[in-house]
């Protein structure tokens, strides 16, 4: 039975009743309107912890003025049922007042903020969504303080967010392990997203082009081409033929630092980062690897062969409007594997 909490005090009391010895708490932060992407995070948290907490909070701090805060889908009853079936122990669904985050940052929310480095927030989505990642970092810090989990789970679909939260946890010495989880897709490849609900039928059909375009670039990479301009061009050319799609950006960046790359092969591992230096013999990491059938995937001939963590390497990322709906997607390009769920 999933317990349901709307106050910080009641959630904390519940967590205190969980036996401390061998207690492992996994937190899955969400904005609700749960789908199979969220469920994959919950499933992973279930496997790795003995208590799973899911937070459901549509966070005003991370919405800009004119964005979709008011119309963002809110499906709490259904979310509760899904959490129940997925074996979630506690759902935390506070009001904005309870969490102390009533207003958007741009409207002077009056809250102490966590500001990620501008180098990471000034690129990709940060260019058009000013203040968004400060809003995310601030609320995630609050959730981590409230729940104090051992592990927190985030999707690779929001790759910039994942990189920024990894950096935040490291820089602020927050005692939690950030776990990145692969993007879950519809059978035609579209990344699951709560905002897909905004698409009408023609838009939904065309939205699948985002992933198809990324796959074109992945195919080029499989031939050993890591050059930024060529990878970006193949994505842009593919999308240019889709009238309902307006591209905001297509960029190749380092998946951890988010800095622009001229080539996939410039995404060198950070030797000080244990996430990036796990050996290829690590069975868990190796099992995530999907062969690229490329000479580059030969670990012996490849200087990046020790990069096995699923969100290291280069990230080829897209943001685009499909009609009026803004969608994002990305793939990881890494000589050893693509960290992607394949379309079913
Ligand atoms: N398709 C997906 N696969 C894996 N994880 C996902 C997927 N979609 C969302 N997530 C992850 O779920 C967590 C909660 O995301 P959120 O509630 O914003 O859902 P969303 O579908 O990303 O919504 P939005 O439409 O706002 O982008 C985030 O860590 C996000 O990366
Ligand atoms: C991490 C998060 C729950 C913070 O509000 C949100 O940005 C999301 O759903 O990705
Ligand atoms: N999953 C990211 C939430 C947002 O776009 O606000």
Topology adopted by domain 3-181: Rossmann fold (3.40.50)
Whole-number Å distance between alpha carbons of 86 and 78: 12
pLDDT of residue 82: 98
Q: Would you place residue 285 in the very low, low, confident or very high pLDDT band (cuts 50, 70, 90)?
A: very low
% of residues, the chain, pLDDT over 70: 84
CB of 62 shorter than 6 A to ligand 3: yes
Better-scored residue on pLDDT, 296 or 5:
5
**CA proximity to 54, closest of 139, 143, 160:** 143
- Whether the per-residue pLDDT at 37 is higher than 60: the answer is yes
CB of 58 shorter than 6 A to ligand 2: no
How many helical (H) and strand (E) elements, i.e. helices and strands, does the chain have? 12, 9
| Average pLDDT over the chain, rounded to an integer | 87
Helix/strand/coil for 338? coil
pLDDT of residue 268: 63
Asked if 315 and 252 touch (Cβ cutoff 8 Å), the reply is yes
Whole-number Å distance between alpha carbons of 144 and 141: 5
- Whether the per-residue pLDDT at 160 is higher than 80: the answer is yes
Neighbour count for residue 263 (Cβ, 10 Å): 16
Rounded-to-5 percentages of helix, strand, coil across the chain: 40, 20, 40
- Provide the token pair at 283: 């069975």
Nearest bound ligand to CA 55? 2
Better-scored residue on pLDDT, 109 or 64:
64
Please, how many CA atoms are within 13 Å of residue 168, restricted to the half-sphere of its CB? 26
ipTM over 0.85: yes
- Whether the per-residue pLDDT at 293 is higher than 70: the answer is no
CB of 29 shorter than 6 A to ligand 2: yes
CB of 31 shorter than 6 A to ligand 1: yes
Whole-number Å distance between alpha carbons of 195 and 204: 11
Give the right CATH number for 194-333 from 3.30.1300.10, 3.40.640.10, 3.80.10.10, 3.50.90.10.
Answer: 3.30.1300.10
Asked if 313 and 300 touch (Cβ cutoff 8 Å), the reply is no
Active site amino acids: 38
Single pTM value for the model: 0.90
For 241-267, the pLDDT digits (tens) are 999 999 999 999 999 999 999 999 888
Distance 281 CA to ligand 3 centre (A): 35
CATH 3.30.1300.10 range(s) for the chain read 194-333
For 123-156, the pLDDT digits (tens) are 999 999 999 999 999 999 999 999 999 999 999 9
DSSP at 61: G
Instruction: From 29, 164, 193, give the residue whose CB has the most ligand 1 atoms within 8 Å, as the site to mutate.
Output: 193
CATH 3.40.50.620 range(s) for the chain read 3-181
pLDDT of residue 296: 33
For 209-244, the pLDDT digits (tens) are 999 999 999 999 988 899 999 999 999 999 999 999
């Amino acid at each position: 039975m999933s317990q349901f909490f709307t106050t910080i005090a009641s959630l904390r009391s519940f967590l205190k009743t969980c036996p401390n010895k061998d207690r492992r708490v996994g937190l899955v932060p969400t904005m609700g309107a749960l789908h199979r992407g969220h469920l994959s995070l919950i499933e992973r948290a279930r496997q790795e912890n003995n208590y799973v907490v899911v937070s459901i909070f549509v966070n005003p701090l991370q919405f800009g003025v004119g964005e979709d805060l008011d119309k963002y889908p809110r499906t709490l009853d259904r979310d509760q049922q899904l959490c129940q079936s997925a074996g979630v122990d506690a759902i935390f669904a506070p009001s904005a007042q309870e969490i102390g985050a009533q207003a958007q940052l741009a409207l002077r929310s009056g809250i102490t903020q966590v500001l990620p480095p501008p180098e990471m927030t000034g690129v990709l989505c940060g260019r058009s969504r000013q203040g968004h990642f400060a809003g995310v970092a601030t609320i995630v810090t609050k959730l981590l303080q409230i729940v104090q989990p051992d592990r927190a789970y985030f999707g690779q679909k929001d790759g910039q967010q994942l990189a920024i939260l990894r950096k935040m946890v490291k820089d602020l010495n927050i005692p939690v392990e950030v776990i990145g989880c692969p993007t879950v897709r519809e059978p035609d490849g579209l990344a699951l997203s709560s905002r897909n609900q905004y698409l009408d039928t023609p838009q939904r059909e065309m939205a699948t082009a985002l992933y198809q375009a990324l796959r074109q670039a992945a195919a080029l990479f499989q031939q050993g081409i890591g050059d930024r301009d060529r990878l970006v061009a193949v994505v842009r050319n593919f999308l240019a033929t889709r009238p309902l799609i307006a591209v905001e950006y297509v960029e190749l960046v380092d998946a951890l630092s988010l800095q622009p790359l001229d080539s996939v092969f410039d995404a060198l591992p950070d030797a000080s980062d244990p996430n990036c230096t796990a050996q290829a013999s690590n069975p868990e990491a190796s099992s995530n690897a999907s062969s690229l059938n490329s000479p580059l995937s030969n670990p012996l001939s490849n200087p990046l062969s020790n990069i096995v963590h699923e969100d290291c390497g280069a990230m080829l990322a897209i943001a685009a409007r499909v009609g009026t709906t803004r969608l994002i997607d990305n793939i990881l390009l890494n000589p050893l594997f693509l960290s992607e769920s394949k379309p079913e």
